[in-house]
Chain A
Amino acid sequence: MIGRLIARDFRRGLAGAAWLPVAFFLLVATLVPFAVGPDARLLERIAPGALWIAALTAALLPIERLIEPDRADGVLDQLALHGVAEESVAFAKIVAHWLTFAPLLLIAAIPASVLLAMDGTALLRAQVALAVGTLGLAALAVAVAAVTAGLPRAGALAGLLLLPLAVPVLIFAVADALLLEAAVSLLLTAGAPFVAGAAIRAART
């Protein structure tokens, strides 16, 4: 069932608006040269940080469709009746979300790197950091989506919850501390299913 759930969410993620966060990511990256001017040295220096701010804002977009539609349509209830623990559901959703979100973002990082005057090595470093960090971001997104599912103005609330929690990932990612970033990312991935599972159960009426 878990495998089927991952495959289903992956398919729905790609069929849905998977390109939307990516377009948003590129748009934010495009704004940076306009905002700070075309000085290549300056752009190169701030590029990793700019990429990450673009990635964080892009990570907010899909939150509302991660949990809420399945809650409202009774899919989460039926999964429980089929003996799937809420934590397992959340884990499957994290995996599926990461698989739809991260690869597209890594591809979009290539045109973004051109806009930000990054060279090849800087791009590669940024991509590794993004690949590692997006796992933690995906876990956070699912947990926050579960906590806010069914609430009015869930989207805005989700942003307020997610961005502060993503700060450790951001700090280690732009400081090139890959191991620490991976540690935080794994910690988030390990903890998020339990938060999301409890939230899904608590939201049942």
Chain B
Amino acid sequence: MTALLRFDGVALRRGGRRLFTGLDLQLDADEGLHVTGPNGSGKSSLLRLAAGLLRAERGRVEAGRVALADEHLALDRELPLGRALSFWGSPIDEAMDALGLAHLARAPVRLLSSGQAKRASLARVVASGAPLWLLDEPLNALDGDGAERLAAIVDRHRRDGGAVVVASHQPLAGAWRRLELGA
């Protein structure tokens, strides 16, 4: 089995401060990793490293195709949600159903609540078809129904041979490996 994500002795420095050094990590198909740690401990930076958006100071990061849901919505605010999501190129109907967004397909993105926006960015991840999902605080702003839907899509993704990394302060349902970053 090939790893979907591998960190080899990775060190990261942000703004002159060393966040972590010598981080080794391997994530295989159907695994889930829950990254915890205080504010500023480098959870989001770890996800951006895995996504290839940041360079490690030392060490190697290997990852295949990834999908990232972070605090940035990256959807055109003036467009209806359906069209804005379609810009990213994958069929979106199923993903919007899975997140309970089907009835909002014609609503302009700028009118979405923060919970609905969170669901929309998760829908893009679902639609992407990428084997590795990187979710930054996915539970923020989600209501009970949203959290259940999130657990369901993560379960299905892992059953289908995908892997998920979640950075979150909140407890997650299901079986997760834990990685705690220091302050």
Contact = CB atoms under 8 A, between A and B. Distances in A.
Interface of A: 1, 4, 8, 12, 15, 72-75, 77-78, 80-83, 204-205
Given A81-B52, A81-B53, A81-B130, 6 more contacts: A1-B89, A72-B72, A77-B51, A77-B53, A80-B53, A82-B89
B172 to A, nearest CB: 23
Task: Tell me whether chain A's interface is mostly helix, strand or loop, or mixed.
Answer: helix
A77 B72 contact: yes
Nearest to A7: B87
A75 B88 CA distance: 10
B74 A4 contact: no
Task: Tell me whether chain B's interface is mostly helix, strand or loop, or mixed.
Answer: loop
Given A1-B89, A8-B87, A80 B72 contact: no
Contacts of A78: 68, 74, 88, 124
Contact of B76 (A12, A77, A81, A82): A12
A86 to B, nearest CB: 11
A4 B87 contact: yes
A76 to B, nearest CB: 9
B88 A82 contact: yes
B67 interface: yes
Interface of B: 14, 48, 51-54, 65-68, 70-76, 78, 87-89, 124, 130
Contacts of A83: 65
A167 to B, nearest CB: 36
15 contacts: A4-B87, A8-B76, A15-B78, A73-B75, A75-B74, A77-B68, A77-B72, A78-B68, A80-B51, A81-B51, A81-B66, A81-B130, A83-B65, A204-B53, A205-B14
A12 to B, nearest CB: 7
